[in-house]
């Protein structure tokens, strides 16, 4: 608003101390403050001190604008937090936006404000836990979804979410997902929110053991998607690995790409061939192909089709999507098509070279037997997918697939029929993959089929709740966090980010939830007002705790660690010291 930073006077509003003592002026000091409404200004604050208890009184008005010892107002901190974690903006983008609004700020300060934003949000969340509990009680309780994510040697970020209200209720960083580390986390959740109606999670041994220890007797279910994923790995993981290795060893894809490059060069150099190719493509798009196709264009188009194998995938990942198997089947299709050509066309150099590439893979007898077994197992696996009505072969929802809205009794009946099918039983007697599959089905049978649960809410009303069949609600949460950080940084690897990430960062997803916001704000109209009501000493304690947990290496040590032959050099100057 102003070309030059104005001076604004603030004075402690209290006339008497809470103990009844008189107040005297302690000091008046200036500090530079920046808010959206004014921009930069100089705040002259007069602090008062009690004569009796020596308590310091500060200006409430100033403390509602900016935290003590901070330069940037709560409104700027909230803007930075929303921009970083919800709008997925990078630090430099945010810096530019703030500069446009006459708020000069460094990139490093933006990162620091982002950290403070998470700390303030976590403290506000902690203070609101009882209101969140009341909200869940109105819905009849909560269903605990538990999952963790990590990358490389990063710590495991574990989150707990209630799938009824869709609220992230707690988070923690663990060095591993063993039960000894998960149990204290679950005990904390139990202490605050009580026992859940049910728990849903993946098949991790640590989670299974921890849930049983902390919540004995509650309905405990495993994610159908994770269950099928584990089944597929057990059933045909070894055959698939053999196929993948064979295709890699024979460098099939790279050989096809080299051949395609030569064909493309030949077509582009000949105007007639180029015209024939374009005419064929136009006719193909219209569904009326009447032109004769030169061998070079046929080979060119076939290779393009082979290399476009990803089009058949559904986005579920292995074992639902089998990209190497699809690729192999496309090789077979083209080989079959070549066999229908007249002998003179087969002898064409472009066709014969393509045929040679296909033969090098398809005539491998050991690989043939492996693919035949793989094909049989894929058919069986897809039958189980159909029975469980999730991640179906024709599905296109990818990792967001929560399964069809089918009655659990119907699913249970179909899976029972699949499990007891004579063909499957006989296969299990001959093949270890089928045997493993049946063993997994039997082991987790009681955790697969969640019947509707009848509960009484806090107002005495009877509510019927159907637990979700998957843990995808948390998987989506983690994917959105990773996607946001990758979008901001442009770095595909999430390892370093996860190491530096504050454990309560997933709480930002709750800010999209109106019910959660009402509980969090607790009568305040904005997030800025809510943060201003938090004791700044608690924020400082959290900041200190985070800084103490981070591994710090002195700058001089970092330089020394880069020394060539450091181990040998240390050995030469190290002397034995007598007792």
pLDDT at 575: 60
Whole-angstrom distance, CA of residue 165 vs CA of residue 132: 10
Q: In whole angstroms, what is the distance from residue 315 CA to residue 101 CA?
A: 42
CA 328 to chain centre: 31
The pLDDT tens digits of the residues spanning 136-184 come to 999 999 999 999 988 877 889 999 999 999 999 999 999 889 999 999 9
Residue ranges in 101-178 assigned as alpha helix (H): 107-127, 129-138
The length of the chain, given as a count of residues: 579
| Range list of β-strands (E), 401-482 | 453-456, 462-465
Alpha-carbon gap, residue 362 to 370, rounded angstroms: 12
35-55 per-position pLDDT tens digit: 998 888 989 988 899 988 888
Pairing of the two strands 219-222 and 198-201 = parallel
State which H helix or E strand residue 30 sits in: strand 23-35
CA distance 381 to 512: 38
Structure-token pair, residue 248: 């890699």
Q: What SS3 state is found at 469?
A: coil
Structure tokens at 241: 């690995």
Ramachandran area for residue 567 (φ above 0: left; ψ -120 to 50: alpha; else beta): alpha
Asked if 497 and 151 count as a contact pair (C-beta separation under 8 A), the reply is no
Candidates 228, 263, 173; CA nearest to 388 is 228
391 close to 404: Cβ distance less than 8 angstroms: no
Please identify which residue in the block is written with the tokens 């002259």. 44
| Residue (of 334, 310, 321) closest to 378 by Cα position | 321
Nearest to 322 by CA among 387, 236, 402: 236
Strand (E) or helix (H) holding 56: strand 56-57
225: its two tokens:
């998607």
- Residue 424 confidence (pLDDT): 95
Tokens read off for 208 = 């299974």
Other CB atoms within 10 Å distance of the CB of residue 146: 25
**Per-residue model confidence as pLDDT tens digits over 232-255:** 999 999 999 999 999 999 889 999
Query: Residue 135: is its pLDDT beyond 60?
Result: yes
Alpha-carbon Rg for the chain, nearest whole angstrom, is: 32
Output DSSP code: residue 513. Answer: -
Give the pTM.
0.84
Domain limits, the chain: 128-220+471-503, 224-454
Does the structure show a pLDDT above 50 at 578?
no
d(CA 572, CA 565): 11
Q: Which helix (H) or strand (E) holds 528?
A: helix 527-532
Residue 42 class from Cβ within 10 Å (0-12 exposed, 13-18 middle, 19+ buried)?
Answer: middle
Q: CATH says 128-220+471-503 is which class?
A: alpha beta
pLDDT digits (tens, 9 = 90+) for 435-476: 999 999 999 999 999 888 888 888 889 988 888 888 888 988
Contact 171, 192 (CB under 8 A): no
Class of residue 364 by CB neighbours under 10 A (exposed 0-12, middle 13-18, buried 19+): middle
Specify the residue for token string 């509960």: 455
Q: Confidence class of residue 573 from pLDDT cuts 50, 70 and 90?
A: confident
- Cα 376 to chain centroid distance, Å, stands at 33
pLDDT tier at 519 (50, 70, 90 boundaries)?
very high
Encode pLDDT of 251-279 as tens digits.
899 999 999 999 999 999 999 889 988 88
Angle CA 76–78–81, to nearest 5: 110
Q: What is the average pLDDT across 281-296?
A: 80
CB 168 within 8 A of CB 156: no
pLDDT at 396 over 90: no
Q: Which residue has the tokens 């859940």?
A: 196
């Amino acid at each position: 608003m102003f070309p030059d930073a104005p001076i604004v006077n603030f004075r402690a509003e209290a006339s008497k101390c809470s103990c009844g003592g008189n107040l005297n002026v302690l000091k008046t000091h200036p500090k530079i403050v920046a808010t959206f409404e004014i921009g930069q200004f100089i705040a002259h604050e007069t602090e008062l001190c009690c004569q009796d208890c020596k308590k310091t009184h500060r200006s409430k008005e100033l403390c509602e604008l900016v935290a003590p010892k901070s330069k940037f107002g709560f409104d700027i901190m909230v803007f930075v937090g929303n921009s970083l974690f919800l709008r997925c903006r990078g630090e430099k983008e945010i810096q530019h936006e703030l500069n446009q609004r006459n708020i000069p700020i460094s990139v490093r300060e933006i990162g620091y404000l982002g950290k403070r934003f998470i700390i303030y949000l976590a403290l506000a969340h902690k203070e609101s836990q009882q209101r969140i509990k009341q909200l869940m009680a109105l819905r009849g309780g909560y269903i605990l979804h538990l999952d963790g994510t990590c990358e490389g040697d990063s710590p495991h970020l574990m989150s707990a979410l209630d799938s009824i209200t869709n609220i992230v209720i707690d988070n923690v960083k663990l060095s591993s997902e063993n039960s000894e580390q998960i149990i204290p986390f679950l005990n904390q959740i139990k202490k605050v929110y009580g026992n859940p109606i049910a728990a849903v999670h993946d098949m991790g041994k640590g989670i299974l053991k921890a849930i049983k220890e902390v919540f004995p007797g509650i309905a405990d279910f495993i994610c159908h998607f994770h269950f099928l994923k584990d089944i597929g790995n057990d059933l045909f993981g070894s055959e698939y690995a053999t196929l993948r290795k064979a295709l890699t060893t024979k460098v099939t894809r790279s050989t096809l790409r080299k051949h395609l490059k030569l064909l493309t060069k030949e077509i582009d150099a000949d105007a007639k061939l180029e015209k024939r190719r374009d005419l064929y493509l136009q006719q193909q798009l219209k569904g009326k192909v009447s032109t004769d196709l030169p061998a070079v264009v046929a080979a060119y188009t076939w290779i393009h089709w082979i290399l476009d194998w990803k089009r058949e995938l559904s986005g579920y990942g292995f074992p639902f999507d089998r990209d190497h198997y699809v690729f192999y089947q496309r090789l077979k299709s083209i080989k079959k098509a070549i066999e229908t050509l007249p002998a003179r066309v087969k002898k064409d150099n472009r066709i014969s070279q393509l045929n040679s590439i296909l033969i090098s893979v398809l005539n491998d007898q050991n690989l043939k037997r492996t693919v035949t077994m793989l094909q049989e197992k894929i058919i069986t696996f897809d039958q189980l997918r159909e029975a469980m009505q999730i991640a179906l072969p024709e599905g296109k929802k990818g990792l967001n697939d929560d399964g069809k809205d089918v009655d659990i009794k119907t699913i249970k009946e179909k899976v029972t029929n699949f499990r007891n099918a004579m063909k499957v039983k006989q296969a299990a007697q001959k093949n270890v993959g089928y045997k493993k599959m049946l063993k997994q089905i039997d082991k987790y049978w009681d955790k697969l089929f969640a019947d509707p649960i009848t509960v009484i809410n806090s107002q005495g009303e009877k509510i019927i709740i159907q637990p979700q069949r998957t843990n995808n609600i948390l998987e989506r949460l983690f994917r959105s966090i990773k996607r946001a950080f990758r979008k901001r940084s442009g770095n595909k690897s999430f390892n370093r980010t996860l190491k530096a990430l504050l454990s309560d960062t997933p709480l930002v997803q709750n800010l999209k939830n109106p019910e959660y916001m009402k509980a969090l704000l607790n009568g305040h109209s904005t997030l800025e007002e809510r943060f201003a009501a938090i004791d700044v000493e608690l924020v400082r304690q959290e900041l200190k705790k985070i800084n103490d947990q981070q591994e710090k290496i002195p700058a001089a040590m970092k330089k020394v660690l880069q020394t060539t032959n450091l181990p040998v050099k240390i050995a030469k100057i190290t002397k034995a010291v007598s007792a």
